[in-house]
Amino acid sequence: MLVRIFFPGAALLVLSAWCLGVLNSHHRFFVSYTAPVAWNVAIIAALLFFGKRMDLSQLAAATAWGSVIGSALQFAVQLPTVLRLIHHFRPVLTLANAHVRQVLNNFFPVFVSRGVVQISAFVDAFLASFLGQGAVVALNYAQSLYTLPVSLFGMSVSAAELPAMSKTIGATEVVAETLRRRLDAGLKRISFFIVPSAVAFLALGDVIAAVLYQTGKFTRADAIYVWTILAGAAVGLLASTLGRLYSSTYYALQDTRTPLLYAVLRVVLSGVLGYFFSIHLPGLLGLDSKLGAAGLTASAGIAGWIEFVLLRASLNKRIGRTGLPLSYTGKLWLGAMVAAGAGWGLKLLVTGWHPIPLAVVVLGGYGTCYFAVTFLLGVAQSREIIHRILRFHR
């Protein structure tokens, strides 16, 4: 019943994704990336309004209808801007158009390479089902958290850079130089936020899990369990996000096959390593089988690094040397590690507090310390953000 209710909502989300593609190609990013707020608001409104009026099965159906309405709102929010941009819009069903054929030819490679995170998530969920009660649920909680920075920073920067990269024209050397410059700048923007995210998952994952989930039957022990899974996810967080930008650069070069090849390799490696790390390794180490869920995320991270290294090496042969300067990444890791130490100190001071004020103090202190240290180390992104904040308050 729920699948039947959700079905039209899926169609509306596809139309919303079409709007996102049109808006991205016109460098209009704000509307398309804030439109999902309408979808979330509709679901939350359904839960709040019907929460005390229905039993659980009826509430599930009402929430599903809220999702469908939210999908319609997400599409409707973007549509007026899209129609203004494309002017005289007349849908036509035809394969004669060269652009339609290009989309169809590129669809499968891009679908697999862009959807590698989701595909790996399905494999991980299947393997987690063998790890004991609660493993699948905890893995889902952790996946919601570690895909957040991927979406916020990896996908957003990649989506913003792809249209600009695709419009690069000129001699081969000119195109290569432009792509290198934009790629390296995007890598710096992504890593500035992803490095502290990975360190926070590793050092303060219990605080993050507790502030979001520790209510009702979700206990402190559950928060720590999710933390172990987040710590495993921290292994490949940077590689997963940087790899998305490299894939976008290949797409700008009209090459969808290379990212596909490496994405398939990543899925296979993630599955094989995940099977060993989750099913066999805990027993060999004398650990609880439930901790195999952390092995799943760690193995996916290792596979992500292999994919990233292959993408970078192959692209460097085509357009020249790209990547993050060692001095730059060193400053980011140093800032994040110092901030983690400060966060741990604050956590020890406020032990026993409610998860929300504890997170405000600990995570707030962590973020403030990271910005302060990277500012003092001369990181351009940190100085730019701090200067903007200061100008806003003035």
Which pLDDT score, from 0 to 100, does residue 392 have? 65
Task: Tell me what pLDDT residue 45 has.
Answer: 94
Q: Please, what are the averages of pLDDT over each run of 10 residues along the chain (394 residues)?
A: 94 92 85 87 93 88 95 94 86 83 81 73 87 88 88 79 74 82 91 94 94 88 93 92 90 86 89 92 88 92 94 92 92 96 93 91 95 92 82 65
The pLDDT of residue 356 is 93
Helical residues (DSSP H) of 115-217, grouped into ranges = 116-128, 135-149, 156-166, 172-213
Half-sphere exposure of 248 (CA within 13 A, CB side): 27
Nearest in space to 343 (alpha carbons), one of 207, 232, 221: 207
The full length of the chain comes to 394
93 vs 104: CA distance, rounded Å: 13
Rounded CA gap, 151 and 118, in Å? 12
CA 375 to CA 45: how far, in whole Å?
Answer: 41
pLDDT given at position 103: 82
User: Phi and psi of 131, rounded to 5°?
Assistant: -100, 5
0.85 exceeded by pTM: no
Residue 344 CB neighbour total at 10 angstroms: 16
Asked if 190 and 157 touch (Cβ cutoff 8 Å), the reply is yes
- Token pair, residue 6, equals 């959700």
Residue 173 CB-half CA count within 13 A: 0
